[in-house]
Amino acid sequence: MENDQKIKKVVKIYFLIYNIGMKKENGIKTLNKKELEEYILGQNDKNISRAAIYKRINKLIRSGELVRTGKGLYCFNGKKQYDYSFENNFTYSVAKLLKKSFNDNLEYIIYESIILNEFLNHLIVEPIIIIETPKIYVDDLFWKLSDGGFKNILVNPTDDQRYKYHPQIIIKTMVTKAPIKLKEHKITIEKLMVDVICDNLLNQFYEGKEKSQIIKGMFDEYTVKYDSVKNYAKRRNAYGELLKYIPAEERNNFDDWQRHILGREHQEGL
C-alpha cells in the first residue's frame, strides 16, 4: 500500500512537471494556485498542512524565487528582477538631494532617458533626468532642486519647450496609482512598459517602429507582473494599444488579447 502511494505521488509530480513544461513551451510560464500547492507537496516527504504550504509559498515570494504574475498566478523566477543604476554622477547628486530633503514615503521616482538603451538599436544619447511625482508635490521638488543649485529644469514641458530649452531635468506629473518602487524611488518594468506605449515624453526618445522590440525585450529579460501591467495600462487608457505590441509567446497571459484585437479588426472592417 505504501509503495502504491509513493508511485501515485511520483506519477502526479511527473504530470505536474510535464504540464508546467508544456506551459513554458506555450509562453505562459505560470502556475495557478492549485498547481503551486501540488508542487510544494511534491517537494516534501510527508503530508503538510495547508498553513505550512502557504508559509512555504510566502517564503519563496520573499526570497524572490517565486513571483506573483497575476491573480492566483505565479512563476518561478527564471528571469531577472528589473533594476537600474544611474549612468552619471549628476543624476546621483540630484537623487541624493531629494533623498536628503524629503521623507522616504514621499511619492516620486527618478530615472534617466537613456534607461531604454538596453532595448534599442539606435541608442539615446541625451541623458535627461526624469522625475515623476503626484501633482501636489511637483512645485516642492522643483523649488528644492532650484534652491539646491540645479539649473535648466522644466516642469511638464511641451514638445516645443523641450526642443527649445534642452533641459537637464524634467519634472512631470505622475499618473495616480502608478506601479513604482516607493522606497527606492524607482520606476518598475510594468510602468516603463506601458509608458513606452503611451507617454508623450518617452516617445520622443526613440523611433515608433522600435516599440515592438522594446516590449519584447522587456518580456524576454525580466519578470513582469501581468496584473500590474493591465491595471496601469487601463488607468492610462492605453490597454488596447498595449495589446497590439504583446509578443505572441506572451499573449496567453493576457486572456482578453484575442477579444480586443479581433474586435478592433472587426470594427475597422465595417
- Which cell numbers in the block locate residue 45? 516527504
CA 65 – CA 50 distance, rounded (Å): 20
Mean pLDDT of 184-200: 96
**Local structure of 163: helix, strand or coil:** helix
Return the ∠ at Cα 21 (arms to 229 and 45), rounded to 5°.
Answer: 105
Which domains does the chain carry? 2-76 (1.10.10), 89-269 (no CATH)
CA 233 – CA 36 distance, rounded (Å): 28
**Local structure of 108: helix, strand or coil:** coil
Question: Which residues are registered as beta bridge partners of 75?
Answer: 67
Q: How many distinct helices (H) and strands (E) make up the chain?
A: 11, 9
CA 50 – CA 262 distance, rounded (Å): 42
CA 23 – CA 31 distance, rounded (Å): 9
Smallest CA-to-CA distance from 186 within 81, 259, 90, 100 is with 81
Q: Which pLDDT value is given to residue 258?
A: 61
Q: What is the pLDDT of residues 13-45, one digit of tens each?
A: 333 443 444 344 334 357 888 888 887 777 665
- Which cell numbers in the block locate residue 31? 502556475
CA 48 – CA 69 distance, rounded (Å): 25
Smallest CA-to-CA distance from 150 within 216, 101, 200, 204 is with 101
- pLDDT bucket at 73, cuts 50 / 70 / 90: confident
Residues in the chain: 270
**Local structure of 192: helix, strand or coil:** helix
Q: Are 88 and 113 in contact (CB under 8 A)?
A: no
Q: What is the pLDDT of residues 80-127, one digit of tens each?
A: 889 999 999 999 999 999 999 998 889 999 999 999 999 998 898 888
